[in-house]
Chains A and B, each alone.
Chain A
Amino acid sequence: MQNSVVQSFLSEIPTGENVIIESLCEGNELNRRLTSLGFTPGTGINIVQNFGHGPMIVNVRGTRVALGRGEAAKIFVQKEE
């Protein structure tokens, strides 16, 4: 099976998938809050709930975190298909 790496924003990942954080976008304040909750590059994230609109829930480092869609759209992730 061939593995290809697909990159996209966290907000676009459907429920149930696992992704790895590639990078965080600009925005110091948001980044500081994200990193202190465990969102750092290389961290695995499980998407607990994403209905395609409104906020979403992810699991990062064993904690469930709710993220606004706008905030999730600033986290660049990669997934393996």
Chain B
Amino acid sequence: MSDCHSSGVSEVINLASTGETKMPVIALAGQPNMGKSTLFNLLTGLNQHVGNWPGKTVEQRSGNFTLDGKTYHLVDLPGTYSLTANSPEEVIAREFILTERPDVVIAVVSAANLERSLYLVSELVCLPVPVVVALNMMDVAQQEGMKVDAAVLSKELNLPVVPITATRALGVRDLLQEAVDVINGKEQTLPNIPEIRADVTKAIETVENLIENYVPTDYTPGWVALKLLEGDTEITKSMKTALPEEKWKAVNTVLLENDDAMVVVASGRYNWIGNIVRLTIERPKMGQISVTERLDRVATHPVWGLFVLAGILGLVFWLTFTIGSPLQSWLATQVVGRIAGFMRTVMVTSPAWLRSLVVDGVIGGVGAVLTFLPILMIFFASFGFLEDIGYMARAAYVMDNIMHMMGLHGKSFLPLFLGFGCNVPAIMGTRVIDSKQARILTILIAPLIPCTARMAVIAFLAPAFFGKQAFLVSWGLILFSIIMLVVLGILLNKVVFKGERSAFIMEMPLYHIPNLRTVGLLVWQRALSFLKKAGTTILIASVIIWGLSYLPAGDLNTSYLAIFGKWLTPVGKLMGFDWRLTVALISSFPAKENAIATLGVLFGSSANSGLATTLASTFSGATAISFLVVTMLFIPCLATVAVIRQETGSIKWTAFSVMMFLVLSTVSGIIVYHVALLL
């Protein structure tokens, strides 16, 4: 007996031929590291839309392509190992197939890793959609001395199989032609289906009969029964509510009698795959030592691996400081500064408030954020490059022990590291973390990594206040911030997440030559999304902050912001601040380096002439150190908060993050100030 029913499949083949009027939908399914993204980028290029799956924080990519004058819609399903509800990605992939019913699903498998990659296919063939198999990485298989016969695979699966090499665009036209033939009903698919042990098959049938009339419309009873026996949390939950109590009791009894069904089903699928693979692969992999094995002897070594990681990170830093930072200051002075100056002259006849709105509010706020784009792009590119060559998994592996302390695992390390450049890519980078909890924890602590903007503030203020000891103070501040990160990580993990830690199971993909198209598209999309944010959220908030600092009289000293700062004096006093320092701190919210400009205005001297001396003579050492500490730990900048909102998909977590940093910075400021007074 088969582990799912073929009735659903034939039903959809009829459906496929009817949907003539609207654009045909092709879904791309595949496990991670099978070259699915490469294929998707190849087909859609820049003609793709990146967003989130409705209600989820998982990236959704879709796009159109044209073949023989007809346009098709291509949806890139998240990369998943199976279709059981282990992760949001897996739920999304199967929900899309079941409820949207794409006209055809292209399953991307790797010829070099056929056994494992067919596991997803063994699940896809049980869903009521036609499947076409793209046998990718034919070149890698060949390099490894394997001979994979697509015709045999096609015969054994009873599905169309097209050999391709997506990185070199080989065989892609044939693949699309095959998919189109299936859509047009020229080719029918009725796949062979994995067989599983008789007793579990019987249990599936029993459950199927019990639930028959209670299954949601898009689902087939056979598939739901199978998932129940596999212990799928989502399906179990929904059927428990859908079924009348006595029916659920009966179902539950069967489930309890077959508590090993999950392993039996998986073994059944792998046996089925094993037979197919034996016939398909004519010449198995030879016993030579692969490049991956050789590289991994160093890259995953507990000691050498850390050196390799340090070297790579050093290189990323070097790139940031030799290319990113100079570009950033060039943009700030030569582009944003000149535009501001130009607008000031052009608008000389317009009202002062309008001029100030444009120059100080819009250009000063959004412009300052935009100058960070080169640094962001360097980080996006480095991150994408390391991911694409397969190194990311190694970095996660060698850092696992250290990250363990905070209830995180290695995968959180690289996103955190990116924070040294800018917290924005750090928070976006947490997408590589598969457990939602670990991801939120990483997002919460990431702003404690001192970014280049905060370092710029420190680099100006520390010498102003502490002269020769500035270097020591700066390092102390960085160290303090990182210690806070570790402490906060441990605390949040214990208190908020109750010390739960998701399992660390991670594929170590084969190393491969990076695909510049993939990396380029990633940088492009991330940069675009950041620019959009700068034009919306950041623009609005910059204008608001400007309004507060300008109104009512057009003078910062008498503005609402100043009034607010004075009103906060009792709190500020605890930290040793006068109202001007409080205002400077608040004004650092749109962009951290604003703090210096604000101090310049409040003290009537610019950063270039005398501000440092004025500050040093006005404030005591205790106040100075307290202000530096609070600046380091204060609410992350506007861009970061906007990205936290985007990536957590939750206002609650965003508010939690803002409040947490507000409390953390204030309390630290108070303690540091009072301790410093004693010294």
Contact = CB atoms under 8 A, between A and B. Distances in A.
A34 B84 CA distance: 12
Given A33-B503, A51-B302, A63-B113, A38 B263 contact: no
B506 A65 contact: yes
B505 interface: yes
Interface string A1-30: 000000000000000000000001000111
Nearest to A37: B81
B116 interface: yes
Contacts of A65: 505-508
Contact of B300 (A24, A49, A71): A49
Nearest to B85: A32
A23 to B, nearest CB: 8
Interface stretch (B45-53, B393-401, B424-432, B577-585): B393-401
Interface in B493-515: 503-510
Interface in B283-324: 285, 292-293, 296, 300, 302
A38 B509 CA distance: 15
B163 to A, nearest CB: 18
Interface string A30-65: 111111111011110000110101110100011111
Contact of A71 (B230, B393, B504, B509): B504
Interface in B74-107: 81-82, 84, 86
A35 B266 contact: yes
A57 B400 CA distance: 12
Given A28-B231, A36-B81, A61-B116, A55 B270 contact: no
A18 B230 CA distance: 29
Contacts of B119: 36, 38
A44 to B, nearest CB: 11
Contact of A32 (B113, B262, B508): B262
B interface residue count range (under 10 / 10 to 19 / 20 to 34 / 35 or more): 35 or more
Interface in B507-526: 507-510
B454 interface: no
B505 A67 contact: yes
A53 to B, nearest CB: 8
Main secondary structure of the interface of A (DSSP, over half): mixed
Given A28-B231, A30-B503, A32-B230, A66 B115 contact: no
B503 A29 contact: yes
A40 B273 CA distance: 13
B492 to A, nearest CB: 20
Among A38, A53, A70, chain B packs the most CB atoms within 10 A around the CB of: A38
Contacts of A63: 113, 116, 507-508
Contact of A55 (B116, B285, B400): B400
B262 A28 contact: yes
Contacts of A49: 296, 300
Given A29-B86, A67-B504, A68-B503, A40 B302 contact: no
A67 B410 CA distance: 11
B115 A62 contact: yes
A32 B84 contact: yes
Interface in B259-286: 262-263, 266-267, 270, 285
B262 A31 contact: yes
B439 interface: no
Contacts of B397: 55, 57, 66
B409 interface: yes
Contacts of A41: 263, 267
A57 B113 CA distance: 17
B504 A66 contact: yes
B292 A64 contact: yes
A49 to B, nearest CB: 6
A55 B86 contact: no
A34 B505 contact: yes
B504 A57 contact: no
Contact of B266 (A40, A51, A53, A70): A40
Among A30, A66, A70, chain B packs the most CB atoms within 10 A around the CB of: A66
B296 A57 contact: yes
A49 B300 CA distance: 9
Contacts of B510: 64
- 6 nearest interchain CB pairs? A68-B504, A36-B82, A35-B266, A64-B508, A36-B81, A40-B267
Given A33-B505, A36-B81, A55-B410, 12 more contacts: A31-B262, A32-B86, A33-B503, A37-B81, A38-B270, A40-B267, A54-B401, A55-B401, A57-B296, A65-B506, A66-B397, A67-B504
Interface of B: 81-82, 84, 86, 113, 115-116, 119, 230-231, 233, 262-263, 266-267, 270, 285, 292-293, 296, 300, 302, 393, 396-397, 400-401, 409-410, 503-510
